[in-house]
Amino acid sequence: MSTEILHGHAEVVSEAHGEHHEGHHHEESFISKYVFSMDHKMIARQFLITGIIWAIIGGLFSVLFRLQLGYPDMSLPFLEDIFGRWAQGGRITPEFYYALVTMHGTILVFFVLTAGLSGTFANLLIPLQVGARDMASPFLNMLSYWFFFLASVIMFASLFIQTGPAAGGWTIYPPLSALGQASDGSKLGMDFWLISMAMFIVSSLLGGLNYITTILNMRTRGMSMTRLPLTIWAIFFTAVLGVLSFPVLLSGAILLLFDRNLGTSFYLSDIVVKGEILPNEGGSAILFQHLFWFLGHPEVYIILLPAMGMVSEVLSVNSRKPIFGYLAMVGSLFAIAILAFLVWAHHMFVTGLNPFLGAFFVLLTLLIAIPSAIKVFNWLTTLWRGNIRFTPAMLFAIGFVSLFISGGLTGIFLGNSTLDIHLHDTYFVVAHFHIVMGVASFFGMFAGVYHWFPKLYSRYLNNTMAYIHFWITLAGAYLIFWPMHYEGLAGMPRRYVDYSSWESFKMFADLNRFISTVAMIVFAAQLMFVFNFFYSIFKGRRLRTENPWGSNTLEWTTPIHPGHGNWPGEIPEVHRWPYDYGKDGREFIPQTEPIGKDESAHH
Amino acid sequence: MSTAQAQVQTKWWGGGKSPFNLEYGKVMMWYFLMSDAFTFGAFLISYGTIRFSQNYWPDPNKVFNAFPLMGHANLPLAFVSLMTFILIVSSVTMVLAVHAGHNMDKKGVVKWMAWTIVGGIAFLACQAWEWTHLITGEHAVLIDGKIQEIGTTVSRNPWGSEILGLEHGEHHVTKTGPVAFGGYFFGITGFHGFHVFSGVIINIIMLLMATNDVFERKGHYLMIEKAGLYWHFVDLVWVFVFLCFYLI
Ligand code: HEM
Ligand SMILES: [Cu+2]
């Protein structure tokens, strides 16, 4: 009896929801359609385009500091024309260099690969792939974008402050970041950084709550959890990681703001700056590192998991084969999500962590290799003997697997605390995380953009440019980051503006110049992608069929131009898992097709 | 009845309905509270690690022994007990408001929400008094060889150990205490107070919506329940704050 009542209640709730969205088909004003939109698809586009703009800015910064690293004795007058005293004499000043590196990291980690990636694809794919008319709360979803926008505005504004933006590295360790007198980059720019990140955390929280709730509560009839596409599983774990780890960064940032502005001593103790003895005592700089990396490590998986999910989907669709080991894929995502919370101190092996404690973090860190290896194995076996279609999305997905293997292997080196004594804060770490997180996640994102562009804009991206984009980016990524491993093994530390006066690293001058040159070429290739993106929105080849890739998932059952509410009639019912490719002699069987009478059992 | 049910066997996780039997907003509120718990957790753990890294920590029974209008009477933890009591009572009135909402009893909702708001404001007022008392209540402290009178702020702490044999007026003179005390005390109770403040605002909005029959028209008082979840959470956090700052 009681279950019946409860059941009725649930029905009422989901029905009330359906009604709410059906009412949206009438004419909308420009503002409510394009600006303060509550349609998840429009919000996805907003996140994507904001992310692209940020990626151009962040990428440009890397070109500038690579210029400095490749040509330490250059003198380019035009730099001074543009940046004034930041590039006095046509050279990038140390302050400018640190500001560039810091902003590059902050922008790409948070604004592009977190908000741009999750924001875009969680918004686009969750309702479409679970079969819902929109997010659980379209209003909070809209707020999530606008908080991100606000964070963006603040961060962008910080670039124009007289003393410059934050410049203590993307990890903003105190005491440097806590003391305005310590450097220009620790003055007003640092406050802007912290406030912007606080807004960013609100945005990611609002988004994450929506993603989790929508995935758990709003799946269409028949869409059991084990029939969810792996994209959705990946986004689900991403959102859980975000909801539980970002608040800890918020605490850390608030305490840092207090140290900066109210004279507290949370992170400060016994400090002398420029001969002046500061009154602060009793704080701990290590405390900040714990708070930061408790977010920081989950954060790297927040960046990676959505890419993994999309790659799984794209690989399976374009191999025309079921994903190998669906449950193992879900299980390994779960294992990664749990372990992500238990390894943060591997970033602190040499910053005063008790070596005994370090041993446990070594163990837990190395355990991550197991679920990672399971995933790699399953991707490769999905490809194995597949009927592969090398679409641009597929190439990027394969590229992702390659990069993930390369970067994951170097992680195992770093995870050993003894080896890390040598490798910490060298270019080896830079190479490791750029390959495994930076470039790999970008590849996942590109795979997603090329694959779902037809759903986003009802047109295709240009293929020729796409292939050029892929090969330059793949070759470039390895050419840039592979040599950095050698530099790091040789002990070359990161975060120095000039290595030429350093006897041990002089020999890398040519190598650095080579890396910088490739970096510029790769950046140009990304601009070509951006051109392709915007050109194709308006002029691309039109989408003429609902299901261009012969895909099983629900988003391809919507009309070519889906309205707000996604499906014109009833929401489709789901009868099978999403990976019935090449089954019983049929190329693909959409999830909406009921199981046939004499169909063979799946797997 | 039972046979009918056996046939329409419910698969909660099969899609097409909410597996939690909760309205989505409530589910979301739960997730938010989990997240917020991590924020407070991070604060309290930071506090714990710093506190235990110090050689000396002030005795809460000495720091928090004042009561409004009682002059210098030594009443350890009396005032904070009153504050805690007020907050707990406001949770009870919140439960009653939610209960009235279940019965679609508008009058009851309005009455109990009003009391909850009063409780919240009373708590904030108490906190304001306590903060003022700490900041302005000056104590004789030996700093750089001189006796000075200082209050408790985020960067100064008069609650160090007593210096034997040194008196100032009729009070003992102390050393300075760990500055982390004020930083964490004002930081964490302030952050909690900010939550109470937001809760009061939310509750006022709920009250206005109730008096304007918004919920009558909706046919349910689910919003009150969500506000209630938040309010109880803020209460629960206070219990931990109370434990960490006043009792231990
Ligand atoms: C088998 C898997 C992995 C292991 C064992 C591992 C281990 C490590 C260790 C020990 C460090 C610290 C190095 C140091 O600073 O001295 C590190 C740095 C880093 N790792 Fe990994 N890692 C793995 C995979 C990943 C993945 C998948 C990502 C991202 C998606 C990632 C992103 C990063 C980042 C961003 C940093 C450096 C942050 C900084 O200092 O600026 N790692 N890794
Ligand atoms: Cu890590």
Model confidence over B77-131: pLDDT tens digits?
889 999 999 999 999 999 999 999 999 999 999 999 999 999 999 999 999 999 9
**What percent of chain B has a predicted confidence (pLDDT) above 70?**
95
Of the pLDDT bands very low, low, confident and very high (cuts 50, 70, 90), residue B2 is very low
The domain total for chain B is 1
**B12 in a domain, yes or no?**
no
Which ipTM score applies to this complex? Answer: 0.90
**Ordered DSSP codes for B91-121:** HHHHHHHHHHHHTT-HHHHHHHHHHHHHHHH
Contact B13 A224 (CB under 8 A): yes
Q: Whose CA is nearest to atom 30 of ligand 1?
A: A437
Contact B46 A251 (CB under 8 A): yes
Mutate to test the pocket of ligand 1, among A347, A362, A485 (most ligand atoms within 8 A of CB): A347
* Per-residue pLDDT tens digits for A32-76: 777 888 899 999 999 999 999 999 999 999 999 999 999 988 888
Quote the minimal CA–CA distance from A580 to chain B in Å: 19
* Per-residue pLDDT tens digits for A161-189: 999 999 999 999 999 999 999 999 999 99
Comparing A228-237, A466-475, B8-17, B97-106, which segment has the lowest mean pLDDT? B8-17
Comparing A347-356, A360-369, B108-117, B233-242, which segment has the lowest mean pLDDT? A347-356
**What percent of chain A has a predicted confidence (pLDDT) above 90?**
81
Q: Which amino acid is at A62?
A: S
Quote the minimal CA–CA distance from A249 to chain B in Å: 8
- Which one has a higher pLDDT value, A1 or A212? A212
pTM across the whole model: 0.92
Look at residue A27 in the predicted model and tell me its pLDDT: 61
Look at residue B26 in the predicted model and tell me its pLDDT: 87
Comparing A25-34, A380-389, A592-601, which segment has the lowest mean pLDDT? A25-34
| Residue A355 pLDDT > 90 | no
Ligand nearest to the CA of A439: 1
Q: Tell me which residue in A13, A208, A244 faces B24 most closely, judged by beta carbons.
A: A13
Q: Tell me, what CATH number does B189's domain have?
A: 1.20.120.80
Nearest to B39 by CA among A28, A389, A245: A245
Nearest to A269 by CA among A287, A252, A281: A281
Q: Output the furthest CA–CA distance in chain A (Å, rounded).
A: 84
Average confidence (pLDDT) over A482-497: 95
Average confidence (pLDDT) over A268-294: 91
| Residue B191 pLDDT > 80 | yes
Of the pLDDT bands very low, low, confident and very high (cuts 50, 70, 90), residue B9 is low
* CATH of segment(s) A36-588: 1.20.210.10
Average confidence (pLDDT) over B196-208: 96
| Residue B43 pLDDT > 70 | yes
Name the 3-class secondary structure at A586.
strand
**B81 in a domain, yes or no?**
yes
Token look-up 């990161």 returns A494
Look at residue B240 in the predicted model and tell me its pLDDT: 95
**B16 in a domain, yes or no?**
no
Look at residue A6 in the predicted model and tell me its pLDDT: 33
Contacts of B1 in chain A (CB under 8 A): 1
Average confidence (pLDDT) over A454-482: 96
Contacts of A244 in chain B (CB under 8 A): 34-35, 38
Distance CA A433, CA A304 (A): 11
Quote the minimal CA–CA distance from B218 to chain A in Å: 11
Q: pLDDT averaged over chain A?
A: 91
| Residue A303 pLDDT > 50 | yes
Residue A113 Cβ inside 6 Å of ligand 1? The answer reads: no
Q: Is B3 on the interface with A (CB under 8 A)?
A: no
Nearest to A348 by CA among A300, A293, A298: A293
Contacts of B54 in chain A (CB under 8 A): 282
* Per-residue pLDDT tens digits for A581-597: 988 888 999 999 998 88
Contacts of A251 in chain B (CB under 8 A): 39-40, 42-43, 46
Distance CA A523, CA A472 (A): 10
Average confidence (pLDDT) over A536-561: 94
Look at residue A18 in the predicted model and tell me its pLDDT: 40
Distance CA A512, CA A320 (A): 42
| Residue A24 pLDDT > 60 | no
| Residue A16 pLDDT > 60 | no
Strand ranges of the sheet holding B139-143, from the earlier edge strand across to the other edge = B146-150, B139-143, B171-174, B162-168
Look at residue A600 in the predicted model and tell me its pLDDT: 80
Average confidence (pLDDT) over A300-319: 97
φ, ψ at A217 (rounded to 5°): -100, -25
Cβ < 5 A residues, ion ligand 2 = A 297
Sign of CA dihedral A401, A407, A412, A415: negative
Contact by Cβ (8 Å): A554, A220: yes
Of the pLDDT bands very low, low, confident and very high (cuts 50, 70, 90), residue A131 is very high
Which of B1, B3, B26, B31 is the best mutation test for A, with the most CBs of A within 10 A?
A: B31
- Written in H, E and C, the secondary structure of A294-357 is HHHHHHHHHHHHHHHHHHHHHHHHHHCCCCCCHHHHHHHHHHHHHHHCCCHHHHCCCCCCCHHH
Of the pLDDT bands very low, low, confident and very high (cuts 50, 70, 90), residue B71 is confident
* Per-residue pLDDT tens digits for A69-98: 999 888 888 888 888 888 888 889 999 999
Q: Measure A300 CA to ligand 2 centroid, in angstroms.
A: 7
- Domains of chain A, by residue range, sit at 36-588
Q: Which amino acid is at A451?
A: H
Look at residue B7 in the predicted model and tell me its pLDDT: 42
- Could you tell me the CA-to-CA distances from B192 to A291, B124, B180, B185, B234 in Å, in that order? 19, 10, 18, 10, 7
Name the 3-class secondary structure at A163.
coil
Quote the minimal CA–CA distance from B228 to chain A in Å: 19
* A105-109, A268-272, A568-572, B56-60: range with highest mean pLDDT: A105-109
| Residue B158 pLDDT > 80 | yes
Of the pLDDT bands very low, low, confident and very high (cuts 50, 70, 90), residue B75 is confident
| Residue B1 pLDDT > 50 | no
Look at residue B235 in the predicted model and tell me its pLDDT: 94
| Residue A414 pLDDT > 60 | yes
Nearest to A564 by CA among A132, A16, A13, A49: A132
Look at residue B17 in the predicted model and tell me its pLDDT: 76
φ, ψ at A587 (rounded to 5°): -65, -45
| Residue A519 pLDDT > 90 | yes
Look at residue A602 in the predicted model and tell me its pLDDT: 62
Residue range(s) defining the domain that contains residue B240: 24-50+63-247
**B170 in a domain, yes or no?**
yes
